[in-house]
Amino acid sequence: MFKDKIGKASEKNRSRIVLALDLVEASREKLLRKSFSLLENLSNLICAVKINRHLVLPLGLFDGVKKIVGFIHRFGLPAIMDCKINDIGSTNLIIAKNYFRAGFDALTVNPIIGFEDGLKPVLSLAHKNGKGVITVVYMSHKGAKEFYERKVLDGGKPKPQYILFAEKSLRWKVDGVVVGATKPRKIGEIKKVLGEKIPIYSPGIGVQGGKAEKALKMGSSFLIVGRKIINAKNPIKEAERIRMLYG
């Protein structure tokens, strides 16, 4: 199962860093070369790699990204596709099948699609194949507050949308939730809902202003870090520095 895979890698490398491999390069060759060299250098300092449209769009899923996923697996690390699935069930299934066929171990989903004919087919497919599904419960950017914080009625008292997303994620038995590191108090509130049952993945560290120490203190299990490491003068030193924060 995905949760075991990331747990094992995290224990082995004593790391909670999920590397966001969000490279921007002028050519396909450069993108591939830089991806391989970063992975080679950082593989023992991280516990997973997250891939986004930065690589899938210019390289193609089966032409380029699949090779990178294979390379990630060689180091015993799981690969997460950050596709934020957000459509009707039949379309979601095609998206998920393709990413899983390319070797991904987990993918992200927008919980706003709901369960029936939305998330349910993706979850069934994933869990039948030992893969993971991670819901985006509160995002790290400024505009997130416009909708994630809206109070909604769910039978009882009004509650913020992100709390409802967290409660639903728990009921749906997803494998992780994303909560921005830029909102440490929200991490704490969501941790109260999830307890130890579902780990929190927090992006937004460094360039977006979030602090790794604070996110961990409030309850994040994993830190998603991209530019702070990949654009650092010395990515190894930067990853080591972040890893040191939790011994």
Contacting residues toward ligand BMP, per CB under 6 A:
20, 22, 52, 82, 136, 139-140, 178, 180, 203-208, 224-228
Instruction: Name the residue with tokens 């994933």.
Output: 126
SS3 35: helix
**Cα–Cα distance for residue pair 10/88, rounded to 1 Å:** 34
**Cα–Cα distance for residue pair 101/231, rounded to 1 Å:** 30
- The token pair that represents 151 in the structure block: 């109070």
CB atoms under 10 Å from CB of 82, counted, come to: 23
CB of 138 to ligand BMP, least distance (A): 7
Instruction: Name the residue with tokens 């961990």.
Output: 216
CB of 94 to ligand BMP, least distance (A): 21
84 belongs to the catalytic site: yes
CB of 39 to ligand BMP, least distance (A): 16
| Residue whose CB is nearest to ligand BMP in the complex, by number | 226
Q: Which is nearer to ligand BMP, 126 or 177 (CB)?
A: 177
Strand partners, 80: 50, 106
CB atoms under 10 Å from CB of 188, counted, come to: 17
CB of 84 to ligand BMP, least distance (A): 7
Q: Which is nearer to ligand BMP, 100 or 201 (CB)?
A: 201
Over the Cα atoms of the chain, what is R_g?
Answer: 17
Q: Which of 84, 145, 168, 214 is catalytic?
A: 84
- The token pair that represents 45 in the structure block: 């300092």
Q: Which is nearer to ligand BMP, 157 or 240 (CB)?
A: 240
SS3 225: strand
SS3 25: coil
Q: Which is nearer to ligand BMP, 140 or 221 (CB)?
A: 140
CB of 204 to ligand BMP, least distance (A): 5
Instruction: Report, as residue numbers or ranges, the catalytic residues.
Output: 84
